[in-house]
Amino acid sequence: MHDIAVDLLILLAAIWLVAVTLRPLGLPTIMGELIVGVLVGPAVLGWIQPSEAITLLAEIGIFFLMFHAGVETQPRQFFDALKRSLGVAIVGALVPFAVSFSVASAFGLDLVGATFVGLTMTATAVVITLKTLRDLGLTDTRVARVIVASCVIDDLLTLIFFGLILGVLSGDSFGAVDVALTLAKVVAFFALAFLLGRYVYPRLTIPFRSEGGKGFTFVLILAIGAGLVAEAIGLHMILGAYLAGLFFEERVAHPNLVRVVADRSYGIAYSFLGPIFFISLGFSITFDISATGLGLLAALTFAVLVSQIVSAGGMALRMGLSPREALTVGIGMCGRAELAFILASLALAQGAIEPPVFSVVIFTAFLLNLFTPLGLKGCAVLLAGRASRAERRGLGVVWADKFGDSAGLAVVPDALPATVEPSREDA
């Protein structure tokens, strides 16, 4: 217990120092958290070694990051962005996969190894991008909606194909039926989430009438339950957390409860567990890479950056976004984080890639994660108020006031903010 407490003390002190140092400079704090992970981890100082306790905290951090992102996103806005982002997501996934697969093949990897490298370089880093967009004040823009929806679609596609490849390696049968079954699971999960959010959430009047306290606990129960359902059918738990938070809105819950849930999940996600996850990413970095590995690292990083920006940004431009917004979408999808690390670890465990290739993949993801917040910072300067804001919550919408003193309808005023912005800083 003493060792865990010391590690936690170092991590929290690092989180606080990063926040008070980078925030006044207008820089995304995640950049500092990633660097701190390298410095205090095994690669440099060795103050903290990867442990089950740190891994558990980091995984819970991912959960809360996605849950909070769902709470602050309106379902109508998300599904509208999802429909409009299919082109961005599909092209923005296929092109980086093809390019990274080609680079890996050119450096001597076999078909299976190159495929795993391609899939790893296709998995986006939605939690990193969300954190950066929040730091830059872009969370309620249509650019953010497109990025988040596209990242979700990309990760779903990656998980589907990754599961199929694992089936081949484990000797399981593999064919059109398996593909159709996997796709059916994804569609069924989204359909179930939509039905629950649309028809069950509004009927939870007792827990959702609570203005705080145990109401927050009940929402977490729903989020964890949705995450477990996602895992049970082969998807990632964070998808369930995001969808559970997505349908939790003032239309179905007491407005004060929504503010309480948003505030508490914000504090956990961005001041405690979330930063621990970002710091822990640096623990996987090793500098023991050969000359050939350095060549693969440079080629893979450059190829993924260019292909991701050109493919996703180009499709965003075609769907009607301005050139500066399209560039922001392309750069916002360049990050590679938790899912990429998971896929790379599974590929190594299956023997599909060797340890040197694993280190290259991890280092590539790390470099991409450093570039993404810096690139988005530059895009924020280019946009400078030109980013189209998402519609305000309830703007011009007449809705049933379930919690007012008198029954009836209430018109939401135009001045109502789009999202609840907690007053707390990240530290």
Query: For the segment 102-148, what is each residue's pLDDT rounded down to a tens digit?
Result: 999 999 898 888 888 898 888 787 777 777 887 787 777 778 888 87
Give the 3-state secondary structure of 32-94.
Answer: HHHHHHHHHCCCCCCCCCCCHHHHHHHHHHHHHHHHHHHHCCCHHHHHHHHHHCHHHHHHHHH
Distances (CA, A) of 254 to 194, 223, 370, 415: 20, 18, 39, 19
Q: How far apart are CA 84 and CA 324, in angstroms?
A: 18
Q: What is the mean pLDDT of the chain?
A: 77
Q: How many CA atoms lie within 13 A of 187 on its CB side?
A: 6
Among 5-14, 31-40, 306-315, the range scoring the smallest mean pLDDT is: 31-40
- Helices then strands, each counted (H, E), the chain: 18, 2
- Residue 38, Cα to own-chain centre: how many angstroms? 21
Q: Going by C-beta distance under 8 Å and a sequence separation of 6 or more, which residues neighbour residue 303? A: 96, 99, 100, 102, 103
CATH topology assigned to domain 52-411:
Na+/H+ antiporter like fold (1.20.1530)
- More confident of the two residues 26 and 284: 284
Q: How far apart are CA 319 and CA 312, in angstroms?
A: 11
**Residue 219, both tokens:** 């929402």
Percent of the chain scoring above 70 in pLDDT: 79
Residue 251's pLDDT band, with cuts at 50, 70 and 90, is confident
Q: How far apart are CA 194 and CA 104, in angstroms?
A: 39
Beta strands 409-411 and 398-400: pairing type? antiparallel
Query: For the segment 306-355, what is each residue's pLDDT rounded down to a tens digit?
Result: 999 999 999 988 888 888 889 988 998 888 866 677 677 767 777 778 88
Residue 402's pLDDT band, with cuts at 50, 70 and 90, is very low
Q: How far apart are CA 269 and CA 277, in angstroms?
A: 10
Q: How many CA atoms lie within 13 A of 13 on its CB side?
A: 7
Domain ranges in the chain?
52-411
Would you state the pLDDT for residue 415? 35
* Residue 394 predicted with pLDDT over 60: no
Query: For the segment 206-226, what is each residue's pLDDT rounded down to a tens digit?
Result: 777 766 556 788 888 888 998
Percent of the chain scoring above 90 in pLDDT: 9
Are 304 and 325 in contact by the 8 Å Cβ rule? The answer is: no
- More confident of the two residues 422 and 133: 133
Are 296 and 354 in contact by the 8 Å Cβ rule? The answer is: no
Would you state the pLDDT for residue 81? 65
Q: How far apart are CA 306 and CA 220, in angstroms?
A: 39
